[in-house]
Amino acid sequence: MHAQQDCNAAKTQQIEVGLVGRGISKSRTPSMHMAEARAQGLSCAYRLHDMDDPTYANMSLAGLLDRLEAEGYAGLNITFPYKIEVIDLLAELSPNASAVGAVNTVVFRDGKRYGHNTDLWGFAEGFRREFGTEPQDHALLLGAGGAGVAVAHALIDCGVKRLSIYDTDQNRSTALARQVMRNRPQCMAQSVPDLDALVAQDPPDGIVNATPMGMAKLPGSAFPIRLLTSQMWVADIVYFPLETELLRAAAERGCRTLKGSGMAVFQAVRAFELFTGRPADPNRMKATFDAFDQ
Ligand code: NAD
């Protein structure tokens, strides 16, 4: 059956929520939500619904949502590979979810299902706190996949005026440049085919890695380390490991850096608020996230 962990805390309000995806057994999200609920005196169960588990072999995403809604869940986090597929099962989308075209948080309320994208706000909030005063005229985004779409919109919400996008699949970077300019017309976005030429002719103020390069199973850096300069700020959304090759090299050159834990923690902060209607304490949720590495 699904993994269940109970918050056994207090008694005032019982909240049931969960995460639907594949290969999610190591997710830190249940612990972040349950510890935050406990600290606020709420009783909460956050369950993992891992569709790779044989128990779910005959269950569709639609069937699972029907069941959990009927069981009284307050909402769900949705992750790989269902963030797009889930949209057809929802009544309404938030503006950010419609802009990105993906949903990572579903709220069940008054018999209706609302879709949100807290990855966008999550990246933006971590970014504002760390890089709020850095130059943001021109940013380079590496990776135009699922996470890259949310990060592109977030960067513009944080004040970036020109966004260059690089992806080994140039169809993706071109499509994302068009999408982001449609949704955020205040920004100029372009797909760039050649990083050496970009840095030589129009160096970005900062770069964000939203490719899987740098993960423990995919070592290396999508941005050539030789092109880093100490003026650049550097963010990575990979968080296994927290210190990627790119971030290590950037710190060695004196760049300001932002780890992938920022987005992971703040997407949970916003989802907690959507599930419970209460503000969450980001520092407390980050402490729970960081405790996994000790
Ligand atoms: P994805 O597979 O949807 O997209 C990855 C994109 O990167 C693809 O378009 C691919 O063509 C491109 N790419 C791969 N290697 C490249 C390279 N060397 N140079 C340029 N482009 C390259 O993946 P995703 O869902 O967008 O996730 C990307 C990474 O972000 C994963 O490692 C994931 O763990 C991480 N992530 C982190 C958070 C967080 O909260 N911190 C959230 C979501 C995803």
Superfamily covering domain 120-259: NAD(P)-binding Rossmann-like Domain (3.40.50.720)
How far is ligand 1, taken at its centre, from the CA of residue 148, in Å? 7
With the most atoms of ligand 1 within 8 angstroms of its CB, the residue from 142, 167, 207 to mutate is: 167
Q: pLDDT digit of tens for each residue in the chain (294 aa)?
A: 344 444 443 445 589 999 999 999 999 999 999 999 999 999 999 999 999 999 999 999 999 999 999 999 999 999 999 999 999 999 999 999 999 999 999 999 999 999 999 999 999 999 999 998 898 999 999 999 999 999 999 999 999 999 999 999 999 999 999 999 999 999 999 999 999 999 999 999 999 999 999 999 999 999 999 999 999 999 999 999 999 999 999 999 999 999 999 999 999 999 999 999 999 999 999 999 999 987
Query: What's the pLDDT score for residue 14?
Result: 85
Residue nearest atom 4 in ligand 1 by C-alpha distance: 145
Give distance in angstroms: CA of 121 to centre of ligand 1: 18
Contacts of 288 (CB under 8 A, 6+ apart): 28, 31, 32, 35, 36
Query: How much is the pLDDT for 13?
Result: 59
Question: Secondary structure of 20-82 in the HEC alphabet?
Answer: EECCCCCCCHHHHHHHHHHHCCCEEEEEEEECCCHHHCCCCHHHHHHHHHHCCCCEEEECCCC
pLDDT for 8 equals 43
Domain ranges of the chain: 3-117+264-290, 120-259
Q: What is the pLDDT of residue 2?
A: 42
Distance 208 CA to ligand 1 centre (A): 11
Name the helix (H) or strand (E) containing 188.
strand 188-191
Q: Which residues line ligand 1 (CB under 6 A)?
A: 119, 142-148, 166-169, 172, 210-213, 215, 222, 237-239, 260, 263-264, 267
Q: Please report the pLDDT score of residue 4 as a whole number.
A: 44
| C-beta separation of 49 from 56 below 8 A | yes
Domain 3-117+264-290 identical in fold to domain 120-259: yes
User: 4 C-alpha to center of ligand 1: Å?
Assistant: 29
Listed residue (130, 119, 197, 118) closest to 164, CA to CA: 197
Nearest Cα to Cα of residue 127 among 105, 163, 159:
159
Contacts 24+ apart (CB under 8 A), 78-82: 78/19, 78/20, 78/21, 78/103, 78/104, 78/105, 78/106, 79/19, 79/20, 79/21, 79/24, 79/27, 79/104, 80/21, 80/22, 80/23, 80/146, 81/21, 81/22, 82/20, 82/21, 82/51
* Catalytic residue IDs: 83
Q: Considering only CA atoms, which residue is closest to atom 39 of ligand 1? A: 264
Q: Which ligand 1 atom minimizes the distance to the CA of 237?
A: 41
| pTM for this model (two decimals) | 0.94
Fold of 3-117+264-290: Rossmann fold (3.40.50)
Q: Please give the number of the atom of ligand 1 that sits closest to the Cα of 173.
A: 9
DSSP-based three-state secondary structure for 198: helix
* C-beta atoms surrounding 86 within 10 Å: 22
Query: Ligand 1 atom 44: the closest Cα is on which residue?
Result: 147
Residue nearest to atom 29 of ligand 1 (CA): 212
User: For the chain, where are the alpha helices, taking DSSP H only?
Assistant: 29-39, 61-70, 95-100, 118-131, 146-157, 170-183, 195-201, 245-252, 261-276, 282-291
Ligand 1, closest atom to CA 218? Answer: 32
